[in-house]
Amino acid sequence: MEKIKLSIKERESKTPNQLRREAQIPATMYGAGEASKSVQIDEREFSRLPAAAFSHVIDLDVGNGKPVSVLIRNVQRQSTTSKVLNVEFYKIRLDQEITVTVPLKFVGVAEAVTIKGGQITHAHDEVEIECLPNDIPDFIEVDLSKLKEIDDAIHFGELNVPAKIKILNPSDDVVAKATEIREIIEEVVAPAEGEVAEGEAEAGGASPAPTGAGAPAAGEQTAAPAKGKEPSTPTTKGKEK
């Protein structure tokens, strides 16, 4: 991978907000047994850094012709606009191993999906590794073709990496797994014979006229309800679904 470069300069005697209004990002450089140093970066130049810059070594041009090898350790952003407010650079030695996080790249075709009809679940998208600064890879591959059957899984301990790279995640942690696709089928239950489905009974409606024995003869009057009481209306509660 081509070296990533970035120019910085010593912090001017201005407040952080003044620098930001002038499209400059306040930053700090520390590490390698040296005192912390306040610097500033051009906002536009920082925005042009590739995604790999956040996990790879960057050569900082400090203006004296000797680049400084650093890692971006922290980027503070404004929560509402994602505008960069502050950056921390960690100075490193190229002969000492460091710990970084790099992305996982999922490759290959899983038979558990194409033949068995399953699906792949990704438990992680990144991996933590330890290596020398110049050995940091762009990504670590995960070969999904190893997933032949439903419930097959790939663990961190099964990833193929060069001997000079050490994976720090627990070896038995699952990276990806083939799972069965579960369909939710909504069951519709019909009311039993003789029962009234919920919603069919009319709240407040009149009950059907009685027939057969007990029905009033033609011309007869039914008893009036007691004074002060409303006539009750029978309702039928539907079977709960």
pLDDT tens digits, one per residue of 4-57: 999 999 999 999 999 999 999 999 999 877 889 999 999 999 999 998 899 899
Q: Is the pLDDT of residue 155 over 50?
A: yes
Local confidence band at 234 (pLDDT 50, 70, 90 cut-offs): very low
**Which amino acid is it at 62?**
V
Rounded CA separation 140/154 (Å): 13
What pLDDT does 35 receive?
86
Mind listing the pLDDT tens digit for each residue in 131-150? 999 999 999 999 999 999 99
* pLDDT score at 233: 38
pLDDT-above-70 percentage for the chain: 75
Buried b / exposed e over 86-114, threshold 16 CB at 10 Å, is: ebbbbbbeeeeebebebebebeeebbbbe
Give the pLDDT confidence of 65-93 residue by residue, as tens digits: 789 999 999 999 999 999 999 999 999 99
What mean pLDDT, rounded, does the chain reach? 83
Confidence grade of residue 184 (pLDDT, cut at 50, 70, 90): low
Cβ-contact 84, 76 below 8 angstroms: yes
